[in-house]
Structure formats: C-alpha cells, structure tokens
Amino acid sequence: QVQLVESGGGLVQAGGSLRLSCEGSGNIFSIKNMSWYRQAPGGQRELVAVIESAGSTNYGESVTGRFTISRDSAKNTVYLQMNSLKPEDTAIYYCHAVLAYKSGSTWYSWWGQGTQVTVSS
C-alpha cells in the first residue's frame, strides 16, 4: 500500500505563514506529480498547486504569489509554503499523488487524509 501523510496544519492569524508537508511511503516506484488540494466547509475540492516530475508548477489563481509548492523527490515529499494567509484560505488541505508501483505499470491516484488549516481574522 501507499500512504500520503500530511503535516503542518494548524491555526494561524491572518497574514501569517504555515508550511505543509506530505510524505509518501510504501510501494512507490515513481511519481508523476504531486499536488495540494483544499476543501473549505461546504465547498468543492479545488486545486491549490501541482508540481510535475520535471519540476514545473501550477497554482490556483487565488493563491498565486502567496503559496509555493516544492518537493524533495528522493524522499517522496512535497511541501506547500503558505504566506500572507487569509481567512478564506481556511480549509482542509489534501495531498495528492499520481504514482506507479513498478516500471511500466499504470498510474494510480492516491490521496492523503488531509490536514486542517484555519486562518483567523
């Protein structure tokens, strides 16, 4: 099995910063991409940021310029540095990975359990 374990969530005042981590473990041969999604209470799950295997990144419009996604490929770990946090950033943040178990195998989609980020005004 594969596990994606998020950490770093918590409560922060508006304008503050948090750094989320997501470490993959288990039968991971390769990772096509890793990403962060978030879901606010009663809202849809939305893409926050994604980093491809080659290192390219994309961000959701609402976080561009404030959040930065990065990775440590050797550790199967992705990070999300969140600066200038706003109350509207409050959500459960989910780590996601598209990965393969062995060479030539199909790609699989895996989700972490999520970590709560709460930004107070």
pLDDT band at 18 (very low <50, low <70, confident <90, very high): very high
Nearest to 103 by CA among 28, 25, 1, 2: 28
SS3 call for 62: coil
Instruction: Quote the mean pLDDT of the chain.
Output: 95
Residue 119 scores a pLDDT above 90: yes
Residue 12 scores a pLDDT above 90: yes
14, 66 contact by CB (below 8 A): no
- The pLDDT tens digits for 22-46 are 999 998 989 999 999 999 999 999 9
Nearest to 2 by CA among 24, 23, 35, 30: 24
90, 118 contact by CB (below 8 A): yes
d(CA 30, CA 13): 37
- The pLDDT tens digits for 57-70 are 999 999 999 999 99
What lies within 8 Å, CB to CB, of 54 at 6+ separation is none
